[in-house]
């Protein structure tokens, strides 16, 4: 069976000489949710930025059967939707509707088609009432939902969420977990939030100094690496 994502022997060194990734092997199956755990600086975010070509290291990466190369980045980025840790990095248009419609317009949809798709996605994340609001008037949880709607409007097959519970209070975290659990896409969660990872992910990968050093259930990883006492960071 082919994987939604397959990575073999991935290396990446930052311009200052720091070895950020040192031989990463990884796979993600269709519909699967995997949590990436590990300390700050262990390579998790650096790794996921390779999955849609925002960073380019040495090694093999294939997304939905497409090798990640300069000439395939358009295809790959249509498959992988990345939700950044800070939603303000993704929300920049005057209104919520315009923000969510921005991506589909760039895919070639007419403004009317893009607006209709945006409305459907905003309904899916429970944000229909915010269509004409300015994003900066929203709460952190609402911004996260709108950012996810903007990614979903691109109809990706894979969602990558970097620290998705950052700035969210417990009710907003629970609402986000419920939203994500109902989405059919395969998901990668980069998170320090163990409870959030437990809720959504059946498998966890532990990063340390640019390497994958453990794999198992979230609870197995927590126990093996004595990870729970280190939270919150």
Residue 183 tokens, joined: 């989405």
The 10 Å CB-count burial string (b at 16+, else e) for 195-220 is bbbbbbbebbbbbeebbbebeeebee
* pLDDT value at residue 229: 37
- Contact status, residue 64 vs residue 111, Cβ threshold 8 Å: no
pTM of the predicted model as reported, rounded to 2 decimal places = 0.88
Q: Decide if pLDDT at 232 tops 70.
A: no
Cα dihedral across residues 195, 217, 78, 111: positive or negative: negative
- Contact status, residue 215 vs residue 204, Cβ threshold 8 Å: yes
pLDDT-based confidence at residue 228 (cuts at 50, 70, 90): low
pLDDT in tens, 61-70: 999 999 999 9
Q: Decide if pLDDT at 233 tops 70.
A: no
pLDDT-based confidence at residue 100 (cuts at 50, 70, 90): very high
pLDDT-based confidence at residue 145 (cuts at 50, 70, 90): confident
* pLDDT value at residue 165: 87
Domains of the chain and CATH, by start? 5-230 (3.40.50.300)
Least confident span in 114-123, 125-134, 180-189, 224-233: 224-233
């Amino acid at each position: 069976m082919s994987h939604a994502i397959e990575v073999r022997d991935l290396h990446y060194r930052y311009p200052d000489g720091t070895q950020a990734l040192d031989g990463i092997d990884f796979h993600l199956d269709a519909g699967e949710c995997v949590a990436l755990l590990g300390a700050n600086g262990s390579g998790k975010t650096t790794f996921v930025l390779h999955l849609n070509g925002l960073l380019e290291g040495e090694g093999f990466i294939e997304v939905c059967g497409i090798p990640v190369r300069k000439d395939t980045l358009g295809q790959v980025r249509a498959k992988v939707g990345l939700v950044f840790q800070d939603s303000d990095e993704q929300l920049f248009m005057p209104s919520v509707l315009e923000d969510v419609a921005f991506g589909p317009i760039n895919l070639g949809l007419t403004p009317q088609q893009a607006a209709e798709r945006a409305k459907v996605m905003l309904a899916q994340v429970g944000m229909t009432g915010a269509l004409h609001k300015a994003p900066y008037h929203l709460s952190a949880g609402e911004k996260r939902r709108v950012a996810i709607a903007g990614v979903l409007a691109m109809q990706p097959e894979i969602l990558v969420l970097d620290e998705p519970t950052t700035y969210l209070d417990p009710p907003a975290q629970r609402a986000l977990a419920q939203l994500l659990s109902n989405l059919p896409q395969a998901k990668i969660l980069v998170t320090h939030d163990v409870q959030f990872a437990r809720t959504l992910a059946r498998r966890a990968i532990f990063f340390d100094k640019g390497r994958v050093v453990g794999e198992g259930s979230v609870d197995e990883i927590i126990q093996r690496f004595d990870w729970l006492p280190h939270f919150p960071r």
